[in-house]
Amino acid sequence: MITNIDKLTENGCGTEKTDKVCRSRGGESCAFDGAMIVLQPIADAAHVVHGPIACCGNSWEGRGSLSKKGSLHRMGFTTDMSELDIIYGSEEKLFHAIRKIFDEVRPKAIFVYSTCVSGLIGEDIDAVCRRAETVLGIRVIPVNAPGFVGPKNLGNRIAGEVLLDHVIGTGEPPSVTGYDINLIGEYNIAGDLWLTEPILEKAGLKVLSRMTGDATFEEITWAHRAKLNVVVCSRALINVAKEM
Ligand code: SF4
């Protein structure tokens, strides 16, 4: 999936210092957590952590994104890997977890996250996701950002690549205007988007896709139809903005 490391490590906005980009700052969390931060605000999708339960606990509600589009971002789904799962492998356990989540909460899509433990023992989450998609008939998307690959910001960028590779461009909007915009790197933290979006509307701009605060999974599928991409947090998703 990572085809161009430069896209993942380049600077954000012009004021960024190179020594701050994609490098851990003291106390910063891991790449897995960074990927969760970007994708978990999609609240009508389920987010399944394939790893020990502490990874899920580490990332749960880490950012305080609010949503009126669903509540799945507030639920923690994990395979809770144990010693036996590490010894014998747990791809089958992951598949059954995905199926149970689908049966229980009927998400619009499911994101499946690798972690240090599942990544180190070589769990093939891509294969499990493909199999689950075939069986369930919804999008099941692998997020390969185990914590050991780097700091939080690298995970942000990997999550952006996941959106580019698996989500954006896979749907079409019901209607378009000449003033459709995307908001990239806007996470609706504490509901800030609910203050700014009405102002944008008064200015005649329609937010076509939010990435990802207060977003639906579906609206991100048609983000490629926007006339303008507005970057709110370049440090997190400059790679998505440039690709768009
Ligand atoms: S992915 Fe690795 S670094 Fe991140 S929370 Fe899990 S064990 Fe810790």
pLDDT of 22: 46
Q: What is the pLDDT of residues 179-219, one digit of tens each?
A: 999 999 999 999 999 999 999 999 999 999 999 999 999 99
Give Cα separations from 28 to 9, 148, 151, 205, 225 (angstroms).
16, 13, 7, 35, 35
Nearest ligand 1 atom to the CA of 115 is 1
Q: Is 177 left (phi over 0), alpha (psi -120 to 50) or beta?
A: beta
pLDDT of 21: 46
pLDDT of 20: 47
Give residue 31 CA to ligand 1 midpoint distance, Å: 8
Query: Does the beta carbon of 188 sit less than 6 angstroms from any atom of ligand 1?
Result: no
Give residue 208 CA to ligand 1 midpoint distance, Å: 34
Give Cα separations from 12 to 5, 16, 33, 90, 163 (angstroms).
15, 6, 19, 37, 18
Query: Does the beta carbon of 114 sit less than 6 angstroms from any atom of ligand 1?
Result: no
Q: Which residues of the chain have pLDDT under 50?
A: 18-23
Q: What is the pLDDT of residues 76-91, one digit of tens each?
A: 999 999 999 999 999 9
Give residue 95 CA to ligand 1 midpoint distance, Å: 21
Domains 5-167 and 180-243 fall in the same CATH topology = yes
- Burial classification of residue 142, based on how many CB atoms lie within 10 Å of its CB (0-12 exposed, 13-18 middle, 19 or more buried): buried
CATH dotted code for 180-243: 3.40.50.1980
Nearest ligand 1 atom to the CA of 59 is 5
Q: Where are the domains of the chain?
A: 5-167, 180-243
Query: Does the beta carbon of 55 sit less than 6 angstroms from any atom of ligand 1?
Result: yes
Are 55 and 115 in contact, with CB atoms under 8 Å apart? yes
Give residue 157 CA to ligand 1 midpoint distance, Å: 17
Topology, domain 5-167: Rossmann fold (3.40.50)
Chain centroid offset of residue 218 CA: 14
